[in-house]
Amino acid sequence: MKNLFRMIIGLLIVISGNLFAQTIPVDTVRTWMFDLAGDHMRGRANGSVEMRQAADYIAARFLSAGLRPVPGSYSFFHPFRFTARDDGRLIHEQNVIGYLEGADPQLKDECIVICAHYDHIGIGQAVEGDSIYNGADDNISGTCGVMGIAQALSVENKRPARSVLFISWAGEEMGLQGSRYYVKHPIWSLENTALVINFELLGRPESIGRNRYYLTGASFSTLADSLSAFNANRSWQMDNSVVDVDRLMFVSDNAAFAAAYRKDREFWGVVAHTFAMEAGGDHVHRPHDGPELIDLENLAHFIDYMTDLLMHFSAQDRAPQWTDARFHPVSSYKE
């Protein structure tokens, strides 16, 4: 009887370990976070050497996850240039884009975009002797989400039904430059882009609590209702307490897709929303947004949750649709 009891206890320990273990270990997320948001990266200002180093790092993670350049392209790097609004400098930057072909012959010609920006604001006014604006939560936390989902699919040997583009944007902090450039020069037609999932501020969930996120522009499409259905009986839930979620729809890279075209107050674009856990805490754009303050365990669990969510949405016959009268499918736009 004692031996049987020990066997049962041992089995329960193994099962519980499997239930709560992350596909991407916390130590891996920690390494990514400190490698990309440590002081040595000097805040990753657009046009800097550190941004080129960050792009190389992200591309290496994409390659190790089994991603490939988009068909017709020979590189993960997609360069663009823009003029800085403050001083007129011409800045050369690059988005980093990895591709995973869908598994379903009928759906793989459509894609889902998983994305986050990896730039920040560099060196700024010193606060308590610290002038490096690390940008760990804003937005290496989101970058870890993108790299983590790609890696989790590889570890679990999963392929979504639709194809997936994993994109790290440059230029977000200077006016969504990377995502706006992409929308004007898409490497996958916007008409065949089923959904855009953007990540911002995933590392500091103090204001809404762990295992929770909010969705920008939640009332604008069917995505929020689909999330509520998916989350039934799950530990992760969508939070509805954040004010101004509709206004926040337009402040990150998802906005470039949602408003690919506009006339007056009407928009034509792809259903595109941002998942976030902070709505502008006092650490945002401050030197104390450092990697040591990130809730790495929560972020690792979020990566697992989003990997499951991606697999689910990629297999749905009907992609999320606009419900707000101001928004229209990009395919319906006429000059």
Taking 60 as the threshold, does the pLDDT of residue 20 lie above it?
Answer: no
pLDDT, tens digit, for every residue of 159-169? 999 999 999 99
Task: Yes or no: say if 196 and 115 are a contact pair by the CB < 8 Å rule.
Answer: yes
pLDDT, tens digit, for every residue of 29-88? 999 999 999 999 999 999 999 999 999 999 999 999 999 999 999 999 999 999 998 889
221 domain residue, yes or no:
yes
Question: Global pTM?
Answer: 0.93
Provide the number of structural domains found in the chain.
1
Which domain covers residue 67, as residue numbers? 24-332
How deeply is 164 buried, as exposed, middle or buried, from its count of CB atoms within 10 A (0-12, 13-18, 19+)?
buried
191 domain residue, yes or no:
yes
Taking 60 as the threshold, does the pLDDT of residue 5 lie above it?
Answer: no
Task: Yes or no: say if 62 and 147 are a contact pair by the CB < 8 Å rule.
Answer: yes
What number is the average pLDDT over the span 273-280? 90
28 domain residue, yes or no:
yes
Report the candidate in 193, 334, 325, 324 with the shortest Cα–Cα distance to residue 256. Answer: 193
Q: 10 or 186: whose pLDDT is higher?
A: 186
196 domain residue, yes or no:
yes
CATH code where residue 272 lies = 3.40.630.10
Q: If pLDDT is split at 50, 70 and 90, which confidence band does 21 have?
A: low
272 domain residue, yes or no:
yes
What number is the average pLDDT over the span 1-22? 42
Report the candidate in 245, 253, 257, 226 with the shortest Cα–Cα distance to residue 319. Answer: 226
Neighbour-count burial for 90-107, b at 16+ CB within 10 Å, e otherwise? ebebbbbbbbbebbeeeb
137 domain residue, yes or no:
yes
66: which residues sit within 8 A by CB, 6+ positions away?
Answer: 100, 150, 153, 154
Q: If pLDDT is split at 50, 70 and 90, which confidence band does 276 have?
A: very high
Backbone angles phi, psi at 275, to 5 degrees: -95, 130
4 domain residue, yes or no:
no
